[in-house]
């Protein structure tokens, strides 16, 4: 897939939002973005690798889908009483 133009603001909002997610919602986000949290041997992947894949997949999404993901993150954090 070709990388899309992503504003630095969108990327920062994405990163800030995912750092505030509770663990269950973070795992849910990895599922939405098709990022595995375990490898082929069912061993946990390093957080850095998961985060890198999340960012890559976010960047590769069409603009409309990125906005939807940011909305999902914002809503999930709002339910936790966290504002972004």
pTM recorded for the entire structure: 0.85
Q: What is the pLDDT along the chain (84 residues), one digit of tens a residue?
A: 556 688 999 999 999 999 999 999 999 999 999 999 999 999 999 999 999 999 999 999 999 999 999 999 999 998 877 665
pLDDT value at residue 58: 96
pLDDT value at residue 63: 93
* Distance of alpha carbon 6 from alpha carbon 9, whole angstroms: 8
Furthest C-alpha separation in the chain: 37
pLDDT value at residue 84: 53
* Distance of alpha carbon 67 from alpha carbon 15, whole angstroms: 14
């Amino acid at each position: 897939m070709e990388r899309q133009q992503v504003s630095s603001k969108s990327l920062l909002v994405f990163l800030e939002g995912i750092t505030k997610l509770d663990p269950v919602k973070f795992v849910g986000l990895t599922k939405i973005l098709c990022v595995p949290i375990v490898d082929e041997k069912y061993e946990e992947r390093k957080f850095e690798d998961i985060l890198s894949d999340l960012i890559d997949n976010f960047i590769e999404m069409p603009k409309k889908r990125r906005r939807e993901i940011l909305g999902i993150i914002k809503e999930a954090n709002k339910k936790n009483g966290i504002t972004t």
